[in-house]
């Protein structure tokens, strides 16, 4: 029984042969399994039985071998020529046949002519060179023997810089990985066949990449294949999904809070009005404070409800130029009062049409400009610029205020985060939610002591020509 297990292991080793085509057959000739070289050489996805790819002479030899094997009741070995189908012709090859009585299956290994083997090796090498992921061949001592063409794309390094070095030296590229850690990954791969590692890499200023590394060990060649895949887009998508989930949870919480708090607030307002009718002058001052605080609480609740279920409003196609001009008209009195200078820059070749909810986008610009005013002192400058790039409309709103630290920039769109005294931390989450609802994106640049700039990108309206009349309406109600 132990001997049969050893032979079974050898039989399935056919499937792991990387150079020679191999196949495992049932006794009736139907295909049980095949290895990758067999698929590549004979383009055999349509094959179901051995009779689909050998000629009649070879079939007679095959039947003769199966009859002898069944009659013997024990393992049989044979070597015979076979004419195997290759595209529209037959290729003459030597075949080694293994019959295993314990499982009633026959394994076949095909010895190809040297020319075909060389062509196959070249094909595999080209697949290595031009793979979408970065790949290295590493020997048992950790020396990098070969590198494919993606080294510069992944690390800004030429392949010749890496070839011949020890893989442990790559610790210089990844701060969170040590030389010993990389060698341990090779040891794990040699022991189990595969090991994996996630790392980050600073490819350039502000360009952080997330890489997934797999280490696999090839027993036939005693070599490691190290493959590095770029998972940056997937990581960013997961972060966005997590953030969307946070906003959704906040929205549900907001709706619940509003329902629970507004009823007692209504009662409080009623009683303060009753008290005002009979209160003394001193008491009226206290009641006035209570009423102001109730109004502030209502304002906070209103902002929270914005993060709740989206309101279905009619969307129209309108001009971004008109929207900006109308909002500047609203802001100018406040700017004049606070000695803030407003600068407008227009770098557009045509009228920029946007499809969306005018009122919500009006509130977006109002929130961003209000934040800019609060960040600046008298003499500051608010700059509003409209531009276009790759079919997208770009709106930037910048100030010359106190700016933000990197930590504040990273948290600026998080619900309830605010750097202002008394701020609710719900204005910018509303801005983010609204921009994304319109198919756009928003980013922020800031430097302490120099100011902050928000960059909003929107897709152009596809049906602008259909709704040209809508641009005539006044944006600000």
pLDDT digits (tens, 9 = 90+) for 136-153: 888 888 888 888 877 778
> 283: domain range?
236-306
Mean pLDDT, range 102-111, rounded to an integer: 86
Name the CA radius of gyration of the chain, rounded.
Answer: 36
Tell me what pLDDT residue 415 has.
Answer: 66
pLDDT at 343: 92
Cα separation, 228 vs 245, whole angstroms:
30
Residues 464 and 343 in one domain: yes
Three-state SS for 179?
Answer: helix
Contact between 109 and 96 under an 8 Å Cβ cutoff? The reply is: yes
Degrees (nearest 5) of the Cα angle 126, 129, 132? Answer: 110
Bridge-based pairing state of the strands 316-319 and 353-356: antiparallel
Residue 90 DSSP SS3: strand
**End of a domain among 68, 86, 119?**
119
Q: Are 169 and 177 in contact (CB under 8 A)?
A: no
Per-residue model confidence as pLDDT tens digits over 296-329: 777 666 666 655 555 555 678 888 888 888 888 8
Q: Are residue 298 and residue 321 in the same domain, yes or no?
A: no
- Residue where one domain finishes, among candidates 207, 230, 253: 230
Residue 50 has pLDDT above 80, yes or no: yes
Verify that 184 and 134 share a domain, yes or no.
yes
Residue 333's CATH number:
3.30.565.10
Kindly indicate the confidence band of residue 30, based on its pLDDT and cuts at 50, 70 and 90.
very high
- First and final C-alpha spacing in the chain: 88
Q: Which segment, 40-44, 206-210, 432-436, 454-458, is predicted with the most confidence on average?
A: 454-458
Is there a single domain that holds both residue 93 and residue 180? Answer: no
Share of the chain above pLDDT 90, in %: 9
Instruction: Retrieve residue 218's tokens.
Output: 């090839």
Is 477 a domain residue?
no
The pLDDT of residue 397 is 93
Of the ranges 8-22, 136-150, 225-239, 459-473, which one carries the lowest mean pLDDT score? 459-473
List CB contacts of 51: < 8 A, sequence separation 6 or more: 29, 59
- Does residue 396 surpass a pLDDT of 80? yes
Q: Does any domain span residue 222?
A: yes
Look at 112 and 1; give whichever has higher pLDDT: 112
Is 63 in contact with 82 (CB distance < 8 Å)? no
Give CA–CA dist 103/112, Å, rounded. Answer: 27
125 in any annotated domain: no
Strand 341-346 and strand 316-319: the pairing is unpaired
Give residue 341's pLDDT: 92
Which residue, 195, 231, 193, is CA-closest to 212?
231
pLDDT at 246 over 50: yes
Task: Mark whether 345 and 454 lie in a shared domain.
Answer: yes
Greatest mean pLDDT among 201-210, 303-312, 339-348, 406-415 lies in 339-348
The number of domains in the chain is 4
Domain co-membership, 406 together with 430: yes
For the cut 50, the answer to whether the pLDDT of residue 477 exceeds it is no
How many angstroms separate the CA atoms of 256 and 251, rounded?
A: 9
The band of 123, judged by pLDDT with boundaries at 50, 70 and 90, is low
Q: Which helix (H) or strand (E) holds 85?
A: strand 76-86
Alpha-carbon distance of 355 to 438, in angstroms, equals 8
- Among 306, 338, 358, the domain-final residue is 306
The verdict on 249 and 212 lying in the same domain is no
Confidence tier at 230 by pLDDT (50, 70, 90): confident
263 sits in which H/E element: helix 232-278
Q: Do residues 393 and 457 make contact, with C-beta atoms less than 8 angstroms apart?
A: yes
Cα angle: 230, vertex 235, 237; to 5 degrees: 120
Specify if 176 maps to a domain. Answer: yes
Q: What is the spatial distance between Cα 151 and Cα 158, in angstroms, rounded to a whole number? A: 6
Q: For 245-249, 328-332, 463-467, which range has the lowest pLDDT when averaged over its residues?
A: 463-467
In a domain, 264, yes or no: yes
Rounded-to-integer distance, Cα 365 and Cα 466, Å: 26
- The answer to whether 201 and 209 are in contact (CB under 8 A) is yes
Task: Return the bridge partners of 414, or none.
Answer: none
- For residues 326 and 400, state if they share a domain: yes
Q: What is the DSSP string of 17-49?
A: -SSS-EEEEETTSBEEEE-HHHHHHH--TT--B
Q: Which of 70, 75, 78 is nearest to 27 (CA)?
A: 70
User: Do 107 and 177 lie in a common domain?
Assistant: no
Both tokens of 350, joined, read: 């045509």
Q: What are phi and psi of 297, to 5 degrees?
A: -65, -40
pLDDT of residue 380: 92
Residue 160 falls inside a structural domain: yes
CA 201, chain centre distance (Å): 16
Residues 6+ apart with CB under 8 A from 136: 144, 146, 147, 148, 162, 167, 225, 226
Average pLDDT estimate for 332-360? 85
Residue 49 inside a domain? The answer is yes
Question: Which has the minimum average pLDDT: 164-173, 350-359, 456-465?
Answer: 456-465
Query: By C-alpha distance, which of 260, 363, 361, 283 is closest to 318?
Result: 361
Beta strands 341-346 and 381-389 are parallel
pTM of the model: 0.39
54 domain-assigned: yes
Of 2, 1, 14, 11, the residue nearest 100 (C-alpha):
11
CATH code of the domain covering residue 181: 3.30.450.20
- For 325, the token pair is 């001009």
Buried-exposed string 73-103: b where 16+ CB fall within 10 A, e elsewhere: eeebebeeebbbbbeeebbebebbbbbbeee
Distance (Å, rounded) from C-alpha 278 to C-alpha 271?
11
321 and 451 share one domain:
yes
Q: Among 100-114, 236-250, 333-347, whose mean pLDDT is lowest?
A: 236-250
On the question of pLDDT at 221 being above 80, the answer is: no
Phi, psi of 361 (to 5 degrees): -70, -30
Neighbours of 60 (CB within 10 A): 10
Q: Based on the domain organization, do 100 and 202 belong to the same domain?
A: no
- The CATH code of the domain that includes 281 is 1.10.287
Same-domain status, 225 and 271: no
The pLDDT of residue 464 is: 40
- What backbone phi and psi angles, to 5 degrees, belong to 111? -90, 110
Of the candidates 84, 78, 77, the one whose C-alpha atom is nearest the C-alpha of residue 59 is 84
What pLDDT is stored for residue 470 in this prediction?
45
What does the mean pLDDT of the chain come to? 78
Q: Is the model's pLDDT at 119 over the cut of 50?
A: no
Q: What's the whole-number mean pLDDT along residues 229-257?
A: 66
Q: What is the pLDDT of residues 411-470, one digit of tens each?
A: 777 766 666 655 556 678 878 888 888 888 989 999 888 999 999 999 888 644 334 344
**Phi and psi dihedrals of 280, rounded to 5?**
-75, 170
Closest CA to 227 of 185, 175, 187, 164: 185
Q: Is 70 exceeded by the pLDDT of residue 394?
A: yes
pLDDT of residue 160: 79
CB atoms within 10 A of CB 226: 22
Where is average pLDDT lowest: 11-15, 18-22, 158-162, 186-190?
A: 11-15
């Amino acid at each position: 029984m132990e001997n049969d297990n050893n032979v079974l292991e050898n039989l399935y080793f056919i499937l792991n042969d990387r150079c020679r085509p191999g196949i495992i057959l049932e006794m009736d000739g139907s295909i049980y399994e095949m290895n990758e070289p067999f698929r590549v050489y004979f383009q055999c996805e349509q094959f179901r039985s051995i009779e689909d790819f050998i000629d009649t002479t070879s079939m007679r030899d095959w039947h003769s071998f199966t009859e002898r094997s069944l009659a013997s009741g024990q393992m049989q070995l044979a070597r015979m020529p076979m004419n195997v189908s290759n595209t529209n012709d037959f290729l003459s090859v030597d075949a080694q046949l293994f019959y295993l009585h314990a499982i009633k299956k026959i394994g076949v290994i095909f010895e190809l002519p040297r020319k075909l083997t060389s062509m196959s090796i070249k094909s595999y090498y080209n697949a290595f060179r031009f793979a979408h992921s970065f790949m290295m061949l590493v020997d048992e001592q950790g020396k990098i023997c070969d590198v494919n063409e993606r080294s510069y794309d992944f690390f800004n390094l030429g392949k010749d810089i890496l070839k011949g070095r020890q893989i442990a030296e790559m610790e210089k590229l990844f701060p969170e990985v040590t030389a010993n850690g990389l060698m341990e990954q090779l040891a794990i791969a040699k022991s189990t066949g595969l090991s994996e590692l996630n790392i980050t890499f600073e490819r350039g200023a502000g360009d952080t990449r997330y890489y997934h590394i797999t280490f696999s060990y090839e027993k036939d060649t005693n070599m490691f294949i190290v493959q590095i895949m770029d998972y940056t887009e997937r990581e960013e998508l997961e972060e966005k999904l997590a953030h969307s989930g946070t906003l959704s949870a906040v929205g549900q919480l907001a709706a619940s809070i509003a329902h629970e708090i507004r009823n007692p607030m209504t009662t409080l307002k009623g009683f303060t009005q009753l008290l005002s009718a009979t209160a003394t002058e001193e008491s009226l001052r206290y009641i006035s404070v209570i009423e102001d605080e109730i109004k502030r609480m209502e304002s906070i609740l209103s902002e929270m409800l914005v993060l709740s279920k989206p309101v279905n409003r009619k969307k129209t196609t309108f001009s971004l130029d008109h929207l900006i001009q109308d909002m500047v008209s609203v802001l100018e009195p406040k700017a004049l009062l606070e000695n803030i200078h407003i600068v407008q820059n227009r770098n557009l070749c045509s009228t920029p049409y946007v499809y969306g909810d005018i009122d919500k986008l009006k509130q977006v610009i109002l929130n961003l400009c209000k934040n800019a005013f609060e960040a600046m002192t008298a003499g500051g400058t608010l700059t509003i610029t409209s531009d276009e790039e790759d079919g997208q409309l770009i709106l930037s709103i910048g100030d010359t205020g106190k700016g933000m630290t990197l930590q504040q920039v990273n948290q600026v769109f998080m619900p309830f985060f605010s750097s202002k005294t008394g701020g609710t931390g719900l204005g910018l989450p509303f801005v983010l939610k609204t921009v994304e609802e319109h198919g756009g994106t928003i980013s922020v640049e800031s430097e302490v002591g120099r100011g902050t700039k928000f960059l909003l990108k929107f897709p152009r309206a596809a049906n602008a020509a259909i709704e040209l009349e809508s641009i005539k309406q006044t944006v600000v109600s």
